Amino acid sequence: MAKCSDTVILNLWHPVGAIAEAAPGAVQETVLLEERLSFQVGVDGEPVVWRSRPDARGADQVPAADRLPARGAYGYVWTSLGSPPADLFPIPEYAEPDRRRLNAATFGVNVSAPRAIENFLDMGHFPYVHTDILGAEPHTEVKEYDVEISVDRDEILATRCRFFQPMASTASDGGADVDYVYRVPHPYCSVLYKSSPVDESRRDVIAIFLQPLDQEHVRAHLLLCVLDENSEDKVIKRFQQTIFGQDKPILENQFPKRLPLDPRAETPIRADKSAIAYRRWLSQKGVTYGVIPAAA
């Protein structure tokens, strides 16, 4: 497989690792878009990223000209192999002081980044893949919801999403509809807002940031930014890891692994409105990496 030549993707910011899991001063090795990268987070929390080379054992041995763009955001180190925009997409809730913010997991998944995004946007699989957690038969209906592509923000927004969840909150023992809002502000990143079980007026934020190793392999970084003062970190993480562990085997059994953008490659239903919008958006942007572009 050729290295990435898709300039849309090359010019994006991409996550390469959780800051909390990088020991200060230690060099981490990773892969982004088929290139080997090294990064190091300084004691000041500032990351340095460079293309791996045998002569550099630490950031201080890498001349400034050879460093890649780098920044820390939402608990992760981000970099780019091209010319990234000045700003990363906003998640204002991340700054709210009473939220728990943590990297719930980083999972290797044998699938393209866009397939993983579609799975993140999808509610119809809750009763089948996350049985008795996010959904349960016979409550299988995906009710009508709204999707728009926001022009000024250049992101997909799905609102009025509702899905029946058994044990929806700790306060009641029955199931209820849970509200979701989904954003796709980046071809390989998505953010969801979900009714908080502890505060009716606010929403938990869960984001997925996909690090494309190549067209058909990703590392999925899961950010949690939730209202929960009681649970231990490991309990919160374990929940998300259970959910993602259920999605992983499904994602790895999807064919083709790259996301087909030809509308006739697969059969959409109304429940897939957000996925249809996502595929169109990728087509309009001219994304070719991790997808099978529609024949012109």
User: One-letter amino acid identity for 241?
Assistant: Q
Q: Does 261 bind other proteins (CB under 8 A)?
A: no
Interface residue with other proteins, options 254, 280, 281, 283 (CB under 8 A):
254
Interface residue with other proteins, options 46, 253, 285, 286 (CB under 8 A):
253
Considering only residues 172 to 211 of the shown chain, the ones binding other proteins according to CB under 8 A are none
Q: Does 31 bind other proteins (CB under 8 A)?
A: no
Question: How far, in whole angstroms, is CA 138 from its chain's centroid?
Answer: 29
Considering only residues 95 to 134 of the shown chain, the ones binding other proteins according to CB under 8 A are 118, 124-125, 127-129
Supply the minimum distance, in Å, between the C-beta of residue 242 and other proteins. 17
The interface mask with other proteins, positions 270-289, x = CB under 8 A, is xx------------------
Helix axes 113-121, 273-285, angle to 10 degrees: 150
Classify burial at 149, counting beta carbons within 10 Å of its beta carbon; exposed 0-12, middle 13-18, buried 19 or more.
middle
> Which one of 1-9, 57-65, 203-211, 267-275 is the stretch in contact with other proteins (CB under 8 A)?
267-275
> Residue 53 corresponds to which tokens in the numbers above?
């080379």
The answer to whether 188 and 113 are in contact (CB under 8 A) is yes
Q: Does 137 bind other proteins (CB under 8 A)?
A: yes
Supply the minimum distance, in Å, between the C-beta of residue 182 and other proteins. 16
Supply the minimum distance, in Å, between the C-beta of residue 93 and other proteins. 29
Q: Does 85 bind other proteins (CB under 8 A)?
A: no
If we measure between CA atoms, which residue out of 29, 4, 3, 9 comes closest to residue 189?
Answer: 9
Q: Does 142 bind other proteins (CB under 8 A)?
A: yes
Classify burial at 151, counting beta carbons within 10 Å of its beta carbon; exposed 0-12, middle 13-18, buried 19 or more.
exposed
Q: Does 263 bind other proteins (CB under 8 A)?
A: yes
Return d(Cα 287, Cα 55) in angstroms, integer: 35
Residue 88 makes CB contacts below 8 A (sequence gap 6+) with: 13, 71, 73, 78
* Residues found near other proteins in the complex (CB under 8 A): 118, 124-125, 127-129, 137-142, 249-250, 253-256, 260, 262-271
